[in-house]
Amino acid sequence: MKKQKSNMPAPLGTVPNGIKFSVFEKEKALNIFFVAGAPNMDVSVQCLRKLPASGADIIEIGVPYSDPLADGPVIRDAYARALASGVTLNKVLELVAAERRNVPVPIVLMIYSNLVLHRGEDNFIGDAVKSGVNGLIIPDMMYPYTKKFAAKCRAAGIAFIPLAAPATESGRIRDISLSGDGFLYYVNVEGITGVRENLPKGIARRLAKVSASSVLPVMSGFGISRPEHIKAVKKYVDGVVVGSAVQNLLNKGEKPWALVEELKCSFS
């Protein structure tokens, strides 16, 4: 079932303690991840233009990197192909800037910290804002250093999206969520991204505790790839992130629109 969306991007709103994504005020959100330039930049343009109509409420773009420690084989392969074809951070920002007016949902970059540090934190944040990026995920930036970086992002009007994992102590969830904006990305499993047959045992109980502690909406990611996964967690979170299942289709030269529609319908 396709959703009708406005042609005008209005993904952000301000709140007293930071920045929010307004989609969470209306419904459970589906965040779709793909790697910029994999299999090529033309397909990435198609993804930006077509994913929202297929059901994506947030689009997360992976910036190619040579040592993506948090990612499994599907996304690693996509990064390698994109790098081999010359995709750089500059090209990713140019892609977002060129297509921003065509994308009526928030755009988030998933980027590793070395790329940020190489450019310079302030330069990177400024360039991301200018291109139209709404949020940043940096999986290898460690808490509590993230608090300083998140404050810079908030001042610039871009959301720094914090992460939590099964090893995160329950008492730290609130503090971590207070340090960021947009949503709290909860990593369902210790380890790397990838398509999994089953979600971890006890995931519903953990997600319920995380959602109760977080001041931000909670999105569940890592291992979610099919409708039954969404049905198992949707009661306990504000949305889910799907990446490897989508990128796997793109790597094979297939289009993910039907899968995204099916995933979105799973929230009903």
Amino acid sitting at position 163: L
Residue 37 backbone zone (phi > 0: left; psi -120 to 50: alpha; other: beta): left
Q: What is the average per-residue pLDDT within 114-142?
A: 97
Residue 15 bridge partners (DSSP): 18
CA dist 105 and 102 (Å) reads 9
Report helix, strand or coil for 12.
Answer: strand
Helix (H) or strand (E) holding 167: none
Nearest to 51 by CA among 121, 89, 105, 95: 105
Averaged over 147-162, what is the pLDDT?
Answer: 95
pLDDT per residue as tens digits for the range 169-218: 888 999 999 999 999 999 987 655 655 566 768 899 999 999 999 999 99
Residue range 96-111, pLDDT digits in tens:
999 999 999 999 999 9
Joined tokens for residue 239: 């949305």
Radius of gyration of the chain (CA): 17
| Active-site position among 27, 57, 71, 169 | 71
Query: Alpha-carbon distance 98 to 228, whole Å?
Result: 36
Contact in structure between 221 and 213 (CB atoms under 8 Å): no
Range scoring the smallest mean pLDDT among 127-131, 142-146, 212-216, 236-240: 142-146
**What pLDDT was estimated at residue 191?**
56
Selected catalytic residue, list 27, 42, 60, 261: 60
Q: What is the side-by-side strand order in the sheet with 239-242?
A: 159-160, 135-137, 107-110, 58-62, 29-35, 239-242, 218-221, 184-187, 163-164
Could you confirm whether 127 is annotated as catalytic? no
What is the separation, in whole angstroms, between the first and last Cα of the chain? 11
- pLDDT tens sequence across 23-80: 898 899 999 999 999 999 999 999 999 999 999 999 999 999 999 887 889 999 999 9
Enumerate domains of the chain plus CATH numbers.
Answer: 12-265 (3.20.20.70)
pLDDT of residue 33: 98
Per cent of the chain over pLDDT 70 is: 90
User: C-alpha angle 133/9/107, rounded to 5°?
Assistant: 30
Give the model's confidence band at 3: pLDDT under 50 very low, under 70 low, under 90 confident, else very high: very low
pLDDT for 6 beyond 50: no
Active site residue 94: no
Q: Tell which residue, 140, 129, 143, has the closest CA to residue 19.
A: 129
- Provide the pairing of β-strand 184-187 with 163-164: parallel
Evaluate whether 185 touches 224 at the Cβ level (below 8 Å): no
Confidence of residue 10 (pLDDT cuts 50, 70, 90): very low
